[in-house]
Structure formats: C-alpha cells, structure tokens
Amino acid sequence: MKDHTCRVLKNRHISGRLYLLELSCPGMETPKAGQFLMLKVSKSLDPMGRRAFAVADLREDRLLIFYDVYGRGTYLLSQVREGESLEVFGPLGKGLFNKDGEKHLLIGGGVGLAGLTLLAKELRSEGKRVFIAYGGRTKEHLGMEEWLKEEGFEYELFTEDGSLGRKGKVVEVLKDFDSSWIVHACGPKAMLKALQRIEGYRIYLSLESRMACGWGVCLGCVVKERNGSYVRVCYEGPVFDANRVEL
C-alpha cells in the first residue's frame, strides 16, 4: 500500500445522492474485493482527514468508485472535475471475503452495494453462481442498477416504499434461498444487524466506519467482538463473519 496520484477520468451524478468516480491510478497494486481506498478530497486542509471508499469495479485501466454525497467531504469530492488529480492511499484492508462454496448471495443496501460488486465479478470469474439483492428506501436509492444490467448479473430489486422492484426490506430475500448459499452483505447498520439475527446461514459483513488513517494506527474505527475484545475495521476488516462482531 502507498500513496498514489490518480487522474480523474469521470465524476458524474447518477441519481439521488449517488455519484460515480472513475480514476486512473498507474502503478497501484490491483485492489481485491473488499478492499478500500483513502481519498484526499480537497487540495486544502479542509477537511483535514481523508475519506474511505470501496473499490466497486476494475475495468482495464479504470478504477470505479460509487459514493453518496452526505457531508462536506463527499460534497467537495463531487466538485472534482475530469482531468484533475486526487491523492489516493491504498489499497487497504486485510480481512476479505470468504469465497468458498459454489453459490453466493450478495445483499447490498443503497450505496453499500458498491462494497460487493467487485466480489461479484471475482466470484463469477471463478465459475461460482452469483445472485444479487439490491435494496433501498426508494427507487432513487437504487442508482447502481445500470451497473448490474451492464454486467449481466442475476438480481432482484427491493424498495421499502414499493416504488421499484419488490416492496419490503432487502433482507427478506433470504426467504427465497436455502442455507447452501453463502451470504455477503454491505449496507446500513440496521440492515447488517437484521442479518445477524438470522440463523442457519454463513454470513459475512463488509462494515463501513468513519476512519482517519485507514491502516490501523488511529483506532477510530474499532468494533467490539463477541468475546469482549476489539478489532479495527480498517485493518482486521473490513469483512467479518457475522457471528464475530457486535454492531
């Protein structure tokens, strides 16, 4: 892992709060599914810290990041123009997905789907069966559907208000799959906690957390394990067995 100066190829609005950032990062080690990058979103010291983003896809010499604009950091990132450069540290994260098994169900909530899409491509390249359940509050929260169509994955959409796809919460998809499927999930904490309450499945969670450093030094992203100790999302994670951590 090291710092890279990456050129912005695209940075465009998709829908709702969702944006797609495409970068060219010559010399960067190829990120693996589950890993993330720490981006310096401004040339100034405002904000001081970097922001963590999942690596959503790799296409030839392009690296894709989907992100929601929520605070000042992501707003500033949304203002970066094509041809400009960003300082990027990574790839980071040592705890990655378990790709054992032949059938994999990926459950993404909102922009959390971006934490699973590179996994979907890796699994497919290994000849595994992949099904993706993608959920959000409304259809505006499902802006990554175009990526799913382009890549040709089997998928089902869920919205809580019924404005697109199946009405209900995305975790309800488990009713349609038996325990022979390995489950991987990334999304809001409430969604991940709901999955932890479901028994009989092997479930892996990709956690999102506020990070200052991204490589285990600041201890700002720790979560508690069920044995009472603590682990760092950025270093021991970001992917954990659902039975290992308390959310």
Summarised one tens digit per residue, pLDDT across range 140-152 is 999 999 999 999 9
Q: Is 162 annotated as a binding residue?
A: no
Q: Which CATH class is domain 2-92?
A: mainly beta
Q: How far apart are CA 186 and CA 191, in angstroms?
A: 8
Q: Are 49 and 212 in contact (CB under 8 A)?
A: yes
Q: How far apart are CA 225 and CA 174, in angstroms?
A: 25
Q: Which comes out higher in pLDDT, residue 215 or 167?
A: 167
What is the pLDDT, as a whole number, of residue 61? 87
Q: Are 225 and 244 in contact (CB under 8 A)?
A: yes
Q: Is 221 annotated as a binding residue?
A: yes
Q: Is 213 annotated as a binding residue?
A: yes
Domain with CATH 3.40.50.80 in the chain: 103-246
Q: Is 218 annotated as a binding residue?
A: yes
Look at phi and psi of residue 162 and say left if phi exceeds 0, alpha if psi is from -120 to 50, else beta. left
Q: Is 220 annotated as a binding residue?
A: no
What is the pLDDT, as a whole number, of residue 211? 79
Question: Judging by beta carbons within 10 Å of its beta carbon (0-12, 13-18, 19+), is residue 56 exposed, middle or buried?
Answer: buried
* pLDDT, averaged across the chain: 94
Domain with CATH 2.40.30.10 in the chain: 2-92
Q: Are 208 and 115 in contact (CB under 8 A)?
A: yes
Three-class secondary structure of residue 98 per DSSP: coil
Place of tokens 């039975």: 243
What is the pLDDT, as a whole number, of residue 1? 62
Range scoring the smallest mean pLDDT among 42-46, 64-68, 216-220:
42-46
What is the CATH code of the structural domain delimited by 103-246? 3.40.50.80
Q: Is 237 annotated as a binding residue?
A: no
Q: Which comes out higher in pLDDT, residue 216 or 31?
A: 31
Q: How far apart are CA 42 and CA 190, in angstroms?
A: 31
Task: State the pTM of this model.
Answer: 0.95
Three-class secondary structure of residue 195 per DSSP: helix
